[in-house]
Amino acid sequence: MSRKIPLLSPDLRRLYALFLGAVLLLFVIATALTGFTPALFFGQSGEIWKFLSEDFLPPRLPESGRIQVIAEAFLTTLAMAMASTTAAALLAFVMALFGSERISPYPKAARFVRGFATFLRNIPTLVWAFILFSSLGIGTGVGFTALLITSFAFMTRAFIETMEDVSSDCVESLLAAGASFPERVVHAVLPAGLSGFISWYLYCIEVNIRASTIVGMVGGGGIGLVLFSYIKTFHYGIACSIILMVAAMVIIVDQISGRIRKEILK
């Protein structure tokens, strides 16, 4: 018994080794191309640390007159995320009905609906914000629309999957009973998929609360814009406290929606 018995087939082992080698090679190539060296990061870590500890810390409270503005900006960001996600969910539901071959009354067009959603989804929210910002100018309208487009595209995809998972069987049975398309939607697709739709909707709200801060920074309004203006005017202490509050808000919303989702999916 001198040779050890391998647990994996030699083919699989070779594949794993190849994969690991490829990852390492890619890392080296990418590092060389970007000119980044780990040494740079560690060499200048003193600078970064100094900036963080002296400029950002400790968090400072803004002047009392600005507190109301900041609070309102927070509410704007929350409202922007909620409103855009809700509008997107309603539109996505209608769109998704036509994006599934097994549910849509026009199965041949389903591919194009999915293709359209994929196209919209693959353009990042930030890019949409820049595009809209150039045409609409600064304001919550830009943030709302940018979030609406991407979450609409995302939920269309997610809703189609949910519908095909849970309702294609009962849609078939109602089809056989002579029910019309709106009847099939109301009596089969909606009740069968409701918990799934709500779960995706809540997930999307979580994502959009984070995204609406970032979209705000490029002109979408809300707390992102306020934060950006403090950073640009070198009020790093105040920016720091806003960042901490954003993190707290995201955590709280995640907790709440996570709990609701768990209850719904029971």
Enter the tokens of residue 70. 């900041």
Residues contacting residue 237 through CB under 8 Å, at least 6 positions apart: 55, 56, 57, 58, 59, 60
Q: Is 264 an interacting residue with respect to another protein (CB under 8 A)?
A: no
Q: Which of 177, 248, 252, 256 binds another protein (CB under 8 A)?
A: 177
Q: How many residues bind to another protein according to rule CB under 8 A?
A: 21
Rounded Cα distance between 103 and 153, Å, is 18
Options 120-128, 176-184, 221-229, 254-262: segment touching another protein (CB under 8 A): 176-184
Enter the tokens of residue 11. 């083919």
| Amino acid symbol at 223 | I
**DSSP, res 2:** -
**CB of 77 closer than 8 Å to CB of 222:** yes
Q: Which of 23, 90, 194, 251 binds another protein (CB under 8 A)?
A: 194
| Amino acid symbol at 263 | E
Q: Is 174 an interacting residue with respect to another protein (CB under 8 A)?
A: yes
- Is the Cβ of residue 69 or residue 186 nearer to another protein in the bound state? 186
Q: Is 183 an interacting residue with respect to another protein (CB under 8 A)?
A: yes
- Is the Cβ of residue 79 or residue 190 nearer to another protein in the bound state? 190
Q: Is 187 an interacting residue with respect to another protein (CB under 8 A)?
A: yes
Rounded to a whole number of angstroms, the minimum distance from the CB of residue 91 to another protein is 20
Q: Which of 178, 232, 234, 263 binds another protein (CB under 8 A)?
A: 178
What secondary structure does DSSP assign to 139-188, as a single string? SHHHHHHHHHHHHHHHHHHHHHHHHHHHTHHHHHHHHHTT--HHHHIIII
**DSSP, res 6:** P
Options 14-22, 114-122, 166-174, 198-206: segment touching another protein (CB under 8 A): 166-174
- Is the Cβ of residue 115 or residue 182 nearer to another protein in the bound state? 182
Rounded to a whole number of angstroms, the minimum distance from the CB of residue 239 to another protein is 48
Q: Which of 87, 131, 170, 231 binds another protein (CB under 8 A)?
A: 170
Options 40-48, 150-158, 180-188, 228-236: segment touching another protein (CB under 8 A): 180-188
Q: Is 192 an interacting residue with respect to another protein (CB under 8 A)?
A: yes
Burial 172-197 (b: 16+ CB within 10 A, else e): eebbeeebebeebbeebbeebbebbb
Rounded Cα distance between 234 and 56, Å, is 10
Q: Which of 101, 161, 172, 254 binds another protein (CB under 8 A)?
A: 172
Q: Which of 92, 188, 240, 242 binds another protein (CB under 8 A)?
A: 188
Rounded Cα distance between 74 and 96, Å, is 32
Q: For residue 150, give Cα distances in angstroms to 30, 57, 88, 197.
A: 29, 35, 9, 17
* Interacting residue ranges for another protein, rule: CB under 8 A: 167, 169-170, 172-180, 182-183, 186-188, 191-192, 194-195
